[in-house]
Amino acid sequence: MPDPSPVKGRLAVAGEWSAPRADFESRNPADLAEVVGAFPAARPAEVAAAVDAARAAFPAWRRTSRILRAECFDRLAQLVKRDTDDLADLMARECGKNVTECRAEVVEGLHMIQYVFGSGRHGVYGEVVASEIAEKDAFVRRKPWGVVAVITPWNFPFAVPLWMLGPSLLEGNTCVFKPSEDTPAVGQRLAELFAEAGFPAGTVNLLHGAAEVGEGLVRNPGVNVVCFTGSSEVGRRIQEISAAMPDRTVAAEMGGKNAVIVCDDARFDLAVTAGILSAFKTTGQRCVSASRILVHESLIDRYAKAFVDATKRLRFGDPLDPRNFAGPLIHTEAVEKVLRYNALARKEGAKVLLDAGEFRPEPDRNGCFLSPFVYRADWRPGIRSLREEVFGPHVALIPFRDDADAARIANDTDYGLSMAVITESYRRMRFYRDECDYGMGYVNLPCIGAEVHLPFGGVKRSGNGHPSAAALAAAVTHPTAWTVNHGTEIKMAQGLAADIAEDADVPAITGPEHRNGPAATPTGLPEAAEAPRASASAEEKPFQTPELWALVTTARVLPTDLVRQVADFAEFVGTRHGKPPAARPPAKLVAPPPPVDDDEVDLGSVPMAEEVVDLSGVYYGTGSMSSIGLI
């Protein structure tokens, strides 16, 4: 049996659990008088310590065999199986989801753990690719980034963290995990299971707290990857902060305004059931919940009646009672937000079909219960209630004329996470597959119910191209190219020549930055460069202006833009070429002077060597500064 006493919240850093601290409380949304636990809000020094601990644990964890890392997940799976019922009960008390949903979420988390364990032995984490050189083997290998910050939502407090922690840890990263401040007890229990499974100290660190803790974690430059699921506003903030950090990747899933499309050939009962599940499972508080059901105009009246009748039969109440369909909203602020959108829909001309408002399933328990709000609305541009995410039991029934009209309405939102189409036509399935904006699409199903071996993410404001679950491995690793030559000589790709000139008359190319360290970049013409050297003949001055000639013959170091002019004129442009055209004199290289002390020499008076070497057909790289003298 689960322990009903309040959870004592602690932080976990470098394998050590802090003393309990009660900075904030977690309460049961079905009964606000019940305190689920009291938790510490991590302070800035504790956030920094958690990142440092993950950074310190990274080298050893990265070097651990991938298979041995995976075996930690096998042990974790056994613990989750052992504790499934207790985890489901704790989750139902803390986030308000019905216990049957909570048990399904624990199983989903278990599936992610099992997927990660299996991937340890047969997962693809690199490729062997062909080379145009027969003696070469070429590999693409994925390497872990380092420290991953995992910031997760309250509505899936067990499965979503595992979507992120699982791939991150398997690939050799270490993690700092910050669960939602609305479900810290479930997050802490998950961290305890990681520790019990034998994950090394510092590989999984736990922080509690609200927005300021998350922002402190995101601002820490020791974090290489941020994995986030939550609102688009917070996700955008994370990306803005991270944009200033060159060694930072963000994988963000950020909500949706999802639609179920019911075509005129739909199986009617299936369409009603798909709409009900999409709209009201988890009381409409899934990022993939449907707050829009688009119905062909020939079916809209019949569908609206059947949908409302089915909704009236749903039971909302105590989340620990498995007979109930759904439970409360997460907190009073969520109730207030949904009520504002209900009022907005009325103001925007909606025809309300069902609205019973707030209620108490049990008179003596004060919870955050809100009945479904169902309305009919014709689509037109700019209707906020049809375009903005609500996150609650709020759904619009919208008629459409034809498939093109339905796709246009479905796409008329800033989000693109999930969608479903109910049809018997394979041609229609293909049309909606190609024309709608989404990351997850379903046919003859609700728009909820993702499986862990598929990518979970969206487009537009719903995501940033780094889906979660099985697809997250690409975001928490970076691909590297590794090429091995098995031959006894060098052969270059693209036909690039690999032979090196062996003419003893060609002097070694050295320069002041090689002899005495980097030289300063000239800001203009040296004072001694006002006129060409008297000893230089016109035949040895192939440059177009006296000023350019003067600078080249006097400066020890040439700015990059001048080197480009010289290189362009001399016609050696980065690869080995033949002789320049006969009409132009060949480029000449003067061997630089012997080492000198920069403090004792006027750069404008450094003597140039007498010997001249033909450079036609030879390329010398300049880097950011030139260290060769040209005449």
Please give the structure tokens belonging to residue 547: 């000023």
Which whole number is the average pLDDT over 301-324? 98
For residue 575, pLDDT beyond 90: no
Do the Cβ atoms of 314 and 325 come closer than 8 Å?
yes
For residue 519, pLDDT beyond 70: no
Give the DSSP per-residue string, 317-353: --TT-TT-SB---SSHHHHHHHHHHHHHHHHTT-EEE
Q: Where are the domains of the chain?
A: 19-254+472-481, 258-450, 500-631
For 412-503, where are the alpha helices, taking DSSP H only?
426-435
DSSP tag of 29: T
611 part of the active site: no
Taking the complete model, does pTM exceed 0.75, yes or no? yes
What pLDDT sits at residue 521?
43
Do the Cβ atoms of 174 and 61 come closer than 8 Å?
yes
Do the Cβ atoms of 112 and 188 come closer than 8 Å?
no
Which of the residues 105, 171, 253, 389 is marked catalytic? Answer: 253
Highest mean pLDDT among 145-149, 504-508, 544-548: 145-149
DSSP tag of 154: S
Please give the structure tokens belonging to residue 26: 């977690």
Backbone dihedral angles phi then psi of residue 103, each to the nearest 5 degrees:
-65, -40
Which superfamily is assigned to 258-450 in CATH?
Aldehyde Dehydrogenase; Chain A, domain 2 (3.40.309.10)
Note the pLDDT tens digit of each residue in 410-459. Answer: 999 999 999 999 999 999 999 999 999 999 999 999 999 999 999 999 99
3-state secondary structure 235-267: HHHHHHHHCCCCCCEEEEECCCCEEEEECCCCC
pLDDT band of 191, cuts 50, 70, 90: very high
Percentage of the chain with pLDDT > 90? Answer: 77
For residue 138, pLDDT beyond 60: yes
For residue 608, pLDDT beyond 80: no
For residue 630, pLDDT beyond 70: no
For domain 19-254+472-481, is the CATH number 3.40.605.10? yes
253 part of the active site: yes
For residue 198, pLDDT beyond 50: yes
Of 330, 313, 413, 446, the residue nearest 372 (C-alpha): 313
Element containing residue 169 per DSSP (H, E): helix 159-170
Which of the residues 287, 368, 436, 447 is marked catalytic? Answer: 287
Note the pLDDT tens digit of each residue in 330-345. Answer: 999 999 999 999 999 9
Please give the structure tokens belonging to residue 153: 């939502």
Of 207, 197, 143, the residue nearest 175 (C-alpha): 207
Lowest mean pLDDT among 18-27, 43-52, 519-528: 519-528
Give the DSSP per-residue string, 578-616: -PPPTTSPPPEEEPPPPP--GGGS-GGGPPPPS-EEE-T
pLDDT band of 125, cuts 50, 70, 90: confident
Q: How far is CA 568 from CA 23, 30, 127, in A?
A: 68, 76, 41
What pLDDT sits at residue 429?
98
Q: Residue written as tokens 């001694």? A: 528
Which whole number is the average pLDDT over 14-43? 98
Lowest mean pLDDT among 182-191, 458-467, 562-571: 562-571
Q: How far is CA 187 from CA 99, 151, 190, 201, 331, in A?
A: 17, 11, 5, 17, 18
Which whole number is the average pLDDT over 100-121? 97
Percentage of the chain with pLDDT > 70? Answer: 79
Chain mean pLDDT for the chain: 86
Note the pLDDT tens digit of each residue in 385-409. Answer: 999 999 999 999 999 999 999 999 9
For residue 170, pLDDT beyond 50: yes
pLDDT band of 620, cuts 50, 70, 90: very low
What pLDDT sits at residue 122?
85
For 365-415, where are the alpha helices, taking DSSP H only?
403-411
Note the pLDDT tens digit of each residue in 534-554. Answer: 444 444 444 445 555 455 555
Number of H helices, E strands in the chain: 16, 27
Strand ranges across the sheet with 31-39: 7-8, 31-39, 24-28
Note the pLDDT tens digit of each residue in 235-248. Answer: 999 999 999 999 99
280 or 617, greater pLDDT = 280
